[in-house]
C-alpha cells in the first residue's frame, strides 16, 4: 500500500462553523486517516493533517480546498501567523512506498485543479520547483496577503498555475512536496515581543542560527505570552532538543522562562528517538520499532 500525507494550512481558526465545514468536506472521502486537526485563535489558522493512498489524499484535498475557498474571505482576515491565501500552504509528504516524484505529481495535479477550476494563483515550492527563488515558503510569502496585489503586477511573480491576477477573496496558495517538517512552538512567560525576536535570532537559520530552522516571534495576547514559532525542516540534521536547549539557555539573560511547548500536527516517530536519548539517556540500542499505540 502506498501512503501519502497532506498537511493543509488554511486561514481560519476562530469561526468553528467554517472549520467544521472544511473538515466535513475532508472526511467525505473514504480511505482518509485524519491524524490531527489544530485550530489556533491567535494565529487565526487551522492545520489539518491526514494520510491515505495518493488518489484519496488528492481528492480529499480538492474537496477541503473547494469548501475553504467558498467560505473564507481574505479581505477581512486578521491573524498573527504569516499567510497569503485562504488555503495558504499545502505540502504533500511521502510516508510509505511513495517516491518524491510521485508526491510532486500529486502536488502539481492539485495545483492545476486550484488554478484552473477555482481560479487561485498557485506557486510550487520545495521539491515541486526548480526555481531557486521559489524553493522556500518564506520567500514566496514575503509581505503576506497585504503585499500580494502589488506583487501580482510584477512578471517575477507570475504563478505556476492559475490566473496572473490578484484574487482578493482567496489570495494565493503554495503547494509542493517536502521532507517531513516538525512544527514546534515554545511559549514564553513574557509579553515583550522584542525578547521573542532576540531569541528567534539565536536559532533561525537566516539569522545565523541552526540550519533547517525557520522561526518567528508571535504575540499571544490571550495568554499574555510571546511565542517562538518554528518549523524544523530536517529533524535528522537539527534535532528538537538542540533547539529547545538553546532557547532555554538564551532566555536566562532576560529572566524569562519557558511556559510550555507545542508540537503542531503529527511528528515522525524517528524524531523522538534522539529526544529520548538526550533527556533520559536511553542507550543506542533503543529503536523506533519499540513505539506502539
Active-site amino acid positions: 81
210, 276 in Cβ contact below 8 A? no
> Smallest Cα–Cα separation from 185: which of 10, 22, 6, 42?
42
Residues 6+ apart with CB under 8 A from 66: 25, 118
Residues 113 and 110: their CA atoms lie apart, in Å, by 5
> Cell match 477555482: residue?
118
79, 227 in Cβ contact below 8 A? no
Could you tell me the three cell numbers for 45? Answer: 489558522
- Estimate to the nearest angstrom the gap between the alpha carbon of 236 and the chain centroid: 18
244, 165 in Cβ contact below 8 A? no
* DSSP-assigned states of every residue in 88-130: EEEEEEEEES--HHHHHHHHHHHHHHHHHHH---EEEEETT--
* DSSP-assigned states of every residue in 33-48: EEEEEEEETTTTEEEE
Residues 267 and 79: their CA atoms lie apart, in Å, by 25
Alpha helices (runs of H) in 179-222, residue ranges in sequence order: 193-203
Amino acid at each position: 500500500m502506498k501512503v501519502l500525507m497532506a498537511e493543509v494550512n488554511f486561514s481560519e481558526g476562530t469561526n468553528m462553523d467554517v472549520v467544521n465545514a472544511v473538515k466535513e468536506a475532508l472526511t467525505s472521502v473514504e480511505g482518509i486517516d485524519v491524524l490531527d486537526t489544530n485550530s489556533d485563535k491567535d494565529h487565526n489558522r487551522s492545520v489539518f493533517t491526514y494520510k491515505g493512498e495518493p488518489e484519496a489524499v488528492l481528492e480529499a484535498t480538492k474537496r477541503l480546498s473547494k469548501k475553504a475557498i467558498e467560505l473564507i474571505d481574505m479581505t477581512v482576515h486578521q491573524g498573527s501567523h504569516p499567510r497569503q491565501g485562504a488555503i495558504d500552504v499545502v505540502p504533500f509528504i511521502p510516508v510509505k512506498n511513495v517516491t518524491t516524484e510521485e508526491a510532486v505529481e500529486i502536488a502539481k495535479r492539485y495545483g492545476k485543479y486550484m488554478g484552473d477550476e477555482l481560479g487561485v494563483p498557485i506557486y510550487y515550492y520545495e521539491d515541486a520547483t526548480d526555481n531557486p527563488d521559489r524553493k522556500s515558503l518564506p520567500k514566496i510569502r514575503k509581505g503576506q496577503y497585504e503585499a500580494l496585489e502589488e506583487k501580482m503586477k510584477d512578471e517575477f511573480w507570475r504563478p505556476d498555475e492559475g490566473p496572473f491576477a490578484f484574487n482578493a477573496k482567496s489570495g494565493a496558495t503554495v503547494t509542493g512536496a517536502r521532507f517531513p517538517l516538525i512544527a514546534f512552538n515554545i511559549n514564553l512567560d513574557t509579553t515583550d515581543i522584542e525578547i521573542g525576536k532576540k531569541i528567534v535570532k539565536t536559532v533561525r537559520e537566516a539569522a545565523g542560527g541552526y540550519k533547517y530552522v525557520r522561526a518567528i516571534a508571535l504575540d499571544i495576547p490571550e495568554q499574555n505570552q510571546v511565542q517562538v514559532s518554528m518549523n524544523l525542516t530536517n529533524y535528522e540534521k537539527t534535532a528538537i532538543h538542540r533547539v529547545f536547549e538553546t532557547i532555554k539557555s538564551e532566555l536566562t539573560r532576560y529572566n524569562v522562562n519557558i511556559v510550555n511547548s507545542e508540537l503542531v500536527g503529527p511528528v515522525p516517530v524517528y524524531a523522538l528517538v534522539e529526544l529520548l536519548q538526550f533527556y533520559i539517556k536511553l542507550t543506542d540500542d533503543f529503536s523506533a520499532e519499540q513505539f506502539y499505540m
